[in-house]
Amino acid sequence: MVKTPVVTDFAITRPLRTLEAALRRKIDTKTKPLGSLGRLEALALQIGLIQQTESPKLERPQILLFAADHGAVAEGISAYPQDVTWQMVQNFLGGGAAINVFSRQASIAVQVIDAGVNHDFPEQSELRNFKIAHGTANYVHEPAMSTAQCARAVETGAQLVRECIAQGTNVIGCGEMGIGNTSSAALLLHRVGGLPLADCIGRGAGVDDAGLARKCAILERAVARRPGALAPLEALAEYGGFEIAMMVGAFLAAAQARMVILVDGFIASSALLVASRLHPAVLEYCVFAHVSAEAGHRRMLELLGGEPLLALGMRLGEGTGAAACYPLVQLAANFLNEMTSFDSAGVSDKLNS
């Protein structure tokens, strides 16, 4: 059993609404019928309120890609061996993974962070080494991490966001890599979100029917090990991963700095679930990229009150959903800034009046 980790408090407040009327007026007087840009109009309003300006700018977007291993993989919860985690880290560093392709197209910088991979990488400048341990412990038998490890991981994620802020970044997304981490996300959805465990568990990286049944049985054992109510950070320490804990800190620090936060899929959303139970105002800064094909993600989004921009059947992780949605975020900011109004274009707005 672990005590609640001690995490540095974050001062997160909701965006002021004083500019809302002016932003709505600016959106409504563009040369278009009222509401005709649909979700992009709500997104433009959100970005303007986050940045507290009628002329928002998106600067130096970055994705922090956290990688870590999970001790519970030894129980057979994944269709892939644990070595895939470190091999994919090398793929990220080589620029050949999906997130590399997506982020290059969207002009998003990607930082790859070793949060706790069960592998010793050679020293290389492209990899940020913040390894907490060589993977978490096996949560079927004991807490995944200690109180100190959990707190350190959360603070590390926050510090990495603060570095991005110092570089001029005001748009941030989080990606992850860790064989077995959909199981951690499912457990967090169950223990923090209160949903029935069966509604939280999916096929992850692609287990078959027998593998899914085995995964369900293993996670039921993990839940039975620690009965009773858990505070959000307790649940994180009991069942989370170092990459998930770092994303919790990253989301909190980004909201404190009033950044636009691009929320990826199921695992990233499980980190946001924990963060939002600590500071509900973090959700005001979040753009929900997509709804994953992973079972449980739609239920997770319902808990978070998130309306995803995309529904492409994706379930890869890595931050790919965040990168895929970013051009839509750019469109929202750009039409607000660059599209002419009826008055400036000399176009009649009779239909809008």
Residue 127 to residues 11, 89, 249, Cα–Cα distance (Å):
30, 9, 19
Q: Determine which one of 59, 163, 318, 338 is catalytic.
A: 318
Strands 109-116 and 260-263: unpaired
End-to-end CA distance of the chain: 63
Residues contacting 82, CB < 8 A, separation 6+: 69, 70, 73, 118, 135, 179, 180
Residue type, 124: Q
R_g over Cα of the chain: 21
- CA–CA separation, 319 vs 289, rounded Å? 10
Residues contacting 315, CB < 8 A, separation 6+: 265, 266, 292, 293, 294
Half-sphere exposure of 29 (CA within 13 A, CB side): 13
Active site residue 318: yes
164 token code pair? 């991005």
- CA–CA separation, 235 vs 186, rounded Å? 12
Q: DSSP assignment of 278-331, as one string?
A: H-GGGGGGEEE-B--SSTTHHHHHHHHT---SB-------TTHHHHHHHHHHHH
Strand partners for 219: none
What backbone torsions phi and psi does residue 206 show, to the nearest 5 degrees?
125, 40
Quick check: 242 and 153 in contact, CB under 8 A? yes
Quick check: 242 and 136 in contact, CB under 8 A? yes
- CA–CA separation, 220 vs 209, rounded Å? 17
Quick check: 114 and 130 in contact, CB under 8 A? yes
For the annotated catalytic residues, the residue numbers are 318
